[in-house]
Amino acid sequence: MHNLVESFFWASAIALAAPILLAALGETFAQRAGVFTIGIEGLMLSGAFGAAAVASWSGDVIVGFAGAALAGAVLGALYGVAVVLFRADQVVVGIGFNLIVLGATSMLRRGLFPTGMEVPSTSALDRHELPLLGDLPWIGEVLFDQSPIVYALYVLTPFGVFLLFRTRVGLLVRAVGDGALASSAAGIRVPRIRMWVMVVNGTLAGAAGATLVLVNAGGVFVDNLVDGRGYLVLALTMFARWHPGWVALGAVLFGAADALQFIAQATFGGHVPTAVFLMAPYLLALAAWVVMGKRSRAPSDLGVPLLA
Partner 1 sequence: MTQRETDTRSGTEVEPSRAPDPVRGGDRARSVERLARLFDRPWPSIIAAFVVSLGIGLLLVVLAGGTAAEAVDVAYRSTVGSQQGMIDSLVYTTPRLLVAVGVIVALRSGQFNLGAEGQLQVGAIGAALGGAFLAPSIPGPLALPVSLLLAMVFGALWAGLAAVLKVWRGCDELITTLLLNFIAIYLVQLMVQGAMKDPSSTFNQSKRVIAVAELPRFGFTRLHYGIVIAVACVVLVWFLLDRTALGLRLRSVGYNPVASRYQQLRVGRLTVAAMLISGAVCALAGAGETLGVQFRLIQGFSSGFGFEGLAIAFLASLRPGRALVIALIFGGIFSTATRLQQELGVTASLAYVVEGLPIVLLACAAGAQALRAQRKGIA
Partner 2 sequence: MSGPNDGDAALLSLRGVCRSFGTTKAVREVDFDVVAGTVHALLGENGAGKSTLMNVVYGVHPADRGTIAIGGEPVRIESPRQALERGISMVHQHHQLIPSLTVAESIALASRNTPWRYDRRSAALQVTRLASRLELELDPEARVGELSLGDRQRLEIISAIDRDSQIIILDEPTAVLAPTEVEPLFDLLRGLADDGRAIILITHRMREVFAVSDAISVMRKGELVATLATSATDPNQVLDLVIPQRHRLAETSSAPGVAEIEDVDSAEGDLNLVAAHLRPGRATPGPDALVVDALEVAPAPGTTGLCGLSLTARQGEILGVIGVEGNGQHELVEVLAGIRIADGGHVVACGEPQTRGRLAPHTAVVPEDRHREALVLDLSSEENLVLPMLDRYSSVGLLSRSRMRADTRAVIEDYAVVTASATAPTRSMSGGNQQKLVLARALAQSPKVLVVSQATRGLDPGATAEVLRRLRDAANAGTAVVFIGSDLDEVVEIADRAVVMYGGRIVGESADPDASRDVLAGLMVGADRDPARD
Partner 3 sequence: ACGTTSADQKEKEGSGEQSDGGQPKVAALFTQFVDQGNWDVTGYQAYEDMCSTYDFDCDYVEEASYERAPALLRQYAQDGYAMVITHSSGYAAAIQEVAPEFPNTQFVLFSYATDTGGLKNFSAWSVDWDQAGYLQGVIAGLSSKAGNISIVGGEQIPSTERAMALAEKGAQSVNPQAKVSRVWTGTFVDVAKAKQVAAQAIDGGADFVIPMADLAGQGVHQAAEAAGALSLGEYMDENSKYPQAIVTSITVDMAGAYDQIGAAYTNGELEGQIVQMDAQSGAFDFAPFHNVDAEVETAARKVLDGLSDGSTKVPSV
In the list 269, 286, 289, 296, the residue contacting partner 3 (rule: CB under 8 A) is 269
Radius of gyration, CA atoms only, the chain: 19
* Helix (H), strand (E), coil (C) string for 27-87: HHHHHHCCCCCCCHHHHHHHHHHHHHHHHHHHCCHHHHHHHHHHHHHHHHHHHHHHHHHCC
Beta bridge partners of 146: 128
**Residue 15 binds which entry of partner 2, partner 1, partner 3, none, with Cβ cut-offs from 5 to 8 Å by kind?**
partner 3
Q: Is the distance from CB of 237 to CB of 31 less than 8 angstroms?
A: yes
Q: Is 246 helix (H, G, I), strand (E, B) or coil?
A: helix
Q: Does 243 bind partner 2 (CB under 8 A)?
A: no
> How many Å apart are CA 71 and CA 54, to the nearest integer?
10
Contact 88, 304 (CB under 8 A): no
Which among 240, 238, 245, 276 is positioned nearest to 260, based on CA atoms? 276
Interface with partner 1, residue 274, by CB under 8 A? yes
Identify which of 46, 15, 65 has the alpha carbon closest to the alpha carbon of residue 210.
Answer: 65
Residue 269's beta-bridge partner residues? 272
Tell me if 205 contacts partner 1 by CB under 8 A: no
Indicate which single residue of 155, 228, 266, 271 sits in contact with partner 1 (rule: CB under 8 A): 228
Q: Are 102 and 45 in contact (CB under 8 A)?
A: yes
Site string for partner 2, 2-41 (x = CB under 8 A): ----------------------------------------
The item of partner 1, partner 3, partner 2, none sharing an interface with residue 12, based on CB under 5 to 8 Å by kind, is partner 3
CA distances from 269 to 13, 113, 184, 219, 257 (A): 20, 39, 56, 30, 16
Rounded least distance, CB 146 to partner 3, Å: 13
Residues 127-166 that bind partner 2 (CB under 8 A): 165-166
181 binds, among partner 2, partner 1, partner 3, none (CB under 5 to 8 A by kind): partner 2
Restricted to residues 199-258, the positions that interact with partner 3 (CB under 8 A) are 212-213, 216-218, 220, 222-225, 227, 258
Size of the site for partner 2 (CB under 8 A): 25
Q: Which residues bind partner 1 (CB under 8 A)?
A: 82-83, 85-89, 91-93, 95-104, 106-107, 110, 189, 191-192, 223, 228, 231, 234-235, 238-239, 273-276, 278-279, 282-283, 285-286, 289-290, 292-294, 296, 298, 305, 307-308
Q: Which residues bind partner 3 (CB under 8 A)?
A: 3, 6, 8-9, 12, 15-16, 19, 106, 110, 114, 116, 126, 212-213, 216-218, 220, 222-225, 227, 258-259, 261-263, 265-266, 269-270, 274-275, 277-278
